[in-house]
Amino acid sequence: MFYSGPKDSGVGSRITLWLHFCVAQTRAYRFLVSTSLLLLIVFSNSVAQRSASPRVFILDGKKLAETKQKVEANDEKLAPAVARLEKEAQQALTGDNFSVVTKTITPPSGDKHDYMSQAPYFWPDPTKSNGLPYIRRDGERNPEINKISDHRSMDQMIGAVRVLSLAYFLKGDERYATKARQLLRVWFIEPATRMNPNLQYGQGIPGITTGRGIGLIETRNLTDVVDSVGLLAGAKVWTKEDQRGVERWYEEFLQWMLSSKNGRDEAAAKNNHGTYYDVQVTSFALFLGKKDLAKQTVENAKLKRIAVQVEPDGRQPLELARTRAWSYSNGNLDGLMLLARLAENVDVDLWSYQTRDGRSIRRALDYLYPFAVGDQKWTYQQLGEWPPQTLFPLMRRAAPHFEDRNFKTMMTRIPALGPSDRERLLTIG
């Protein structure tokens, strides 16, 4: 399993002009210096707070700050996307809280605070009376996995916090921050409901193992929580205790990833699992101020991930070998691009990195492009639907980094965003 799936300054400019005018006036009218300077300092601090970039690592903080200014200026182009976001945030306000302790099945440890899940592509052996041990049917999801609710609950929590935190950041409504805080405290902090910071029992296989390193693919979206916490930083309800509580959880989870057998197994994976392991380590390290670890991880990814996973012609053989080869190829490329975005935070350029024989993120993107736009027919296996559109967000995310004529020509065939598409608000890279 893996992730299947990318300047008008408005009010800010008018405020800047107003400040320059105030400065000129104070020089002209000396008797108003004290009063004018006091007002200027108060107003300037207000503007700085409003336009400051949030502490995010996958999202682009500077562009989010610009988006916030446009929203505050009632930019009509963003209105449909903001309306859709607020509708989703309103739904999240009345939604449930989520916790690992609500599952009906108890992990082998006897502690419901331990996260637990079952491998999705393993089924009972029809030749055995008890079905054990389970056998692999790649790409075919066993509905039996839904009996354990932790994976679904975690994804729902992450999705709700993502919507609420973005809506708070853009609109300043404390109700959104209050609900996001509640969700985060239930999952990460409150003793009665928090998840233990490990994945010892992720993706177990009946009759074979109670948990595997592969289970770490299920926590890949915890990187979204890192950015969501950054968006909540200015909220009145988000306290230093809340911040420290979430950071402590991530500190313990990161240490478990680095030191446990399951974590080490996933770090050694050569396919998409290894990619998303690195994405998590890098994101969590940045969140915790461990820049050296983050930089080491993305530097190593040049040879450990890109050079190993991408062929000179752009193919990703380990993903093409799967029964959903298109989805896996897109999914791993998505992970490599997330790594490239995270690497920007420590001044490492993975976007333009390539080996001597041409293995690179760009080459992988170029390989998939003709299939997405219909110029070539996909000849590898793809169980279920054929979703060419999964490459489009990746193309849009890569566009600012590949500005040559060929790529610009390629982008002319990528469908434009709709007016209510949230990608207009969440510009990555």
Q: How far apart are CA 126 and CA 142, in angstroms?
A: 14
Percentage of the chain surpassing pLDDT 90?
Answer: 86
Residue 132 scores a pLDDT above 90: yes
Mean pLDDT across 4-15: 37
Contact 158, 222 (CB under 8 A): yes
Indicate the residue type of 215: G
Q: Pairing state of beta strands 116-118 and 201-204?
A: parallel
Residues 6+ apart with CB under 8 A from 425: 64, 67, 78, 81, 82, 85, 166, 170
The CATH topology of domain 52-267 is Glycosyltransferase (1.50.10)
Summarised one tens digit per residue, pLDDT across range 55-83 is 999 999 999 999 999 999 999 999 999 99
> Is 39 a residue whose pLDDT tops 90?
no
Residue 10 has pLDDT above 60, yes or no: no
More reliable by pLDDT, 19 or 206: 206
| pLDDT of amino acid 428 | 55
CA distances, 326 to each of 218, 312, 362, 378, 389 (Å): 20, 18, 17, 8, 11
Please state the domain extents for the chain. Answer: 52-267, 269-429
What integer pLDDT is reported at residue 427 of this predicted model? 64
Tokens of 391: 């490459």
Asked if 52-267 and 269-429 have one fold, the answer is yes
Going by C-alpha positions, the residue among 374, 411, 375 that lies closest to residue 396 is 411
Q: Which of 135, 235, 146, 141 is nearest to 184 (CA)?
A: 235
Cα 172 to the center of its chain, rounded Å: 22
Asked if the model's pLDDT at residue 423 lies above 50, the reply is yes
- Grouping H, G, I as helix, E, B as strand and the rest as coil, residue 360 is strand
3-state DSSP assignment of residue 244: helix
Confidence tier at 51 by pLDDT (50, 70, 90):
low
What is 269-429's CATH topology?
Answer: Glycosyltransferase (1.50.10)
Q: Do you find a cis peptide bond into 133, omega within 30 degrees of 0?
A: yes
Phi and psi angles of residue 423, each rounded to the nearest 5 degrees, phi first: -60, -20
278 contacts 305 by C-beta, under 8 angstroms: yes
Neighbouring-strand partners of residue 205: 209
One DSSP character per residue, 74-93 reads: T-TTTHHHHHHHHHHHHHHH
- Among 206, 163, 216, smallest CA distance to 335 is for 216
pLDDT tens, position by position, 311-335 = 999 999 999 999 999 999 999 999 9
